[in-house]
Structure 1
Amino acid sequence: MRFLMTLLLLGASVKTIADEVLVNLIDYAPDIKTEIRYHGSDNFVGRRVDGYEAPQCLLTLPSAQALAAAQQELLSFGLSLRVYDCYRPQRAVDHFMRWTRDTSDTLQKARYYPTLAKSELVPKGYIAEQSGHSRGSTVDLTLVETASGQALDMGTEWDYFGPLSNTQNDTIRPKARANRLLLRSVMERHGFSNYPAEWWHFTLKNEPYPETYFDEPVR
């Protein structure tokens, strides 16, 4: 399935173009497990995030194809990808920024940022006014066992704010470190690069819209 999208051009106002730019991952890799957490309350905000009107994983076509290829490799190991976030509309990022300014809301602090003050999340770069996810070629994911559906130990929660989430953090359990490096190596073989501060965050190296930010809701 493809979608007409609204584009937020860097340094420009929101414009609408009649161009099909995103596809639904399920149409290209139906066996990848999806758990779009910003569509519900299981996330650092603690409620559904603006712009997530459906629990869908939308990506640019080359990103979806590359992810499908990575999944095929992992299935041969008895493993599968589980996706937590894909395309993220700019309005969702705006929601995050508003949330950071409400310092009285610390509902999820113990789980997602126990060692940081909420006021530190923006200055330290954990949350920003724009996200690569809004370009449609970035995905947050982990590994699960296909037989049991159980997630592999990665050392932290997805979206955990702190140094423990650095992909090569050397203080986490050896098994978790090995699992992170396995995920990274498979994703790199299929054209993705990892954001070193977040073991779960991967962007297609040759993303088709590197300067364009989208703002259409996920439907």
Structure 2
Amino acid sequence: MINKFSDDWCKAKFRMLTVAMLISTGFGCCQVADVDNSGETAGATVTQNVKLSSDSSGFVLLSEAVPDAILEIRYYSTYNFVGDRIDGYEEPLAFLTKEAASALKNVSDELITKGYRLKIFDAYRPQKAVTHFMNWALDENDVRMKKYFYPELDKKVLFPQGYIAEHSGHSRGSTVDLTLFDMTTEKEVDMGGTFDYFGELSHPDYRNITEEQYKNRMLLREVMLKHGFKPLVEEWWHFTLADEPYPDTYFTFPINSNSL
């Protein structure tokens, strides 16, 4: 009798390796489902053309477009679910499309009047970073960061359950991972859970947290929605510009000072 999970995991491995080969050999288009590497499963059952591009002309440096934002680029550091600096993050910078950055500036301006600043964990993510995540997912023995980011899950379910995928909405350039920073306490706002935690705790509507923590999540959500971003049902920190300029293009240029 065939073990269904084992069969699915083998298929997932084959699929990841196939996409990785397409990326490494420079193919500009392939057929894949549109799934974010960290839980973005919207439209995951729809197969569509995916275009790869190295053209950075539509992007801006987030620290210039939103100067009040605080940057903590987790994938440039080793404090992330992999435990290493991620490929493509060559400097601790954040890029966004011009349209997303403009909308985020409006978010920042409103939140400053309420006593908060935005703290950015991730914005544009190069395709090679997503490939790094996929390769990491194949190594079932590398669980260095499990107790911090996925203590409730066996690593081998991360790909089948959609936590890791071939393409990320971040690579389209109009998605941002962020939280609130309280200017009175000079600390991050308590959201009842940490960035990049894989599990139900990260769902924005999760209610087994304090009322204050839930209100903090809703404040971030409400202001982001007001200024044109759409949320993700699995992650309280993740938002994508609803009218994103490159809905079917995934960018490949690295994050460094020479890319823009």
- Structure 1 runs of 4+ with >4 Å offset: 6-17
CA contact 2:91–2:255 (8 Å) conserved in 1 = yes
Kindly state the Cα deviation for residue 171 of structure 1 after the two structures are TM-superposed.
Answer: 1.3
Hey, what does 1:23 align to over in structure 2?
60
Hey, what does 2:244 align to over in structure 1?
207
Secondary structure of 2:142's match?
Answer: coil
Hey, what does 1:94 align to over in structure 2?
131
Hey, what does 2:223 align to over in structure 1?
186
Structure 2 letter corresponding to 1:209: Y
Q: 1:146 to 1:124 in 2, by over 3 A?
A: same
2:95 aligned with 1:70? no
Hey, what does 2:178 align to over in structure 1?
141
Q: How many percent of aligned residue pairs carry the same amino acid?
A: 47
Kindly state the Cα deviation for residue 43 of structure 1 after the two structures are TM-superposed.
Answer: 0.6
CA contact 1:141–1:200 (8 Å) conserved in 2 = yes
Kindly tell me the number of residue pairs found equivalent between the two proteins.
Answer: 213
Hey, what does 2:144 align to over in structure 1?
107
Q: 1:7 to 1:197 in 2, by over 3 A?
A: farther
2:113 aligned with 1:81? no
Query: d(CA) in 1 for partners of 2:217 and 2:125?
Result: 23
Query: d(CA) in 1 for partners of 2:249 and 2:30?
Result: 6
- 5+ long unaligned stretches in structure 1: 1-5
Structure 1 letter corresponding to 2:153: L
Secondary structure of 1:37's match?
Answer: coil
- 5+ long unaligned stretches in structure 2: 1-25, 32-49
2:166 aligned with 1:116? no
Secondary structure of 1:201's match?
Answer: strand
Hey, what does 1:130 align to over in structure 2?
167
CA contact 1:154–1:179 (8 Å) conserved in 2 = yes
Q: 1:172 to 1:9 in 2, by over 3 A?
A: farther
Kindly state the Cα deviation for residue 70 of structure 1 after the two structures are TM-superposed.
Answer: 0.4
**Alignment TM-score, normalising by the size of structure 2:** 0.78
Kindly state the Cα deviation for residue 28 of structure 1 after the two structures are TM-superposed.
Answer: 1.4
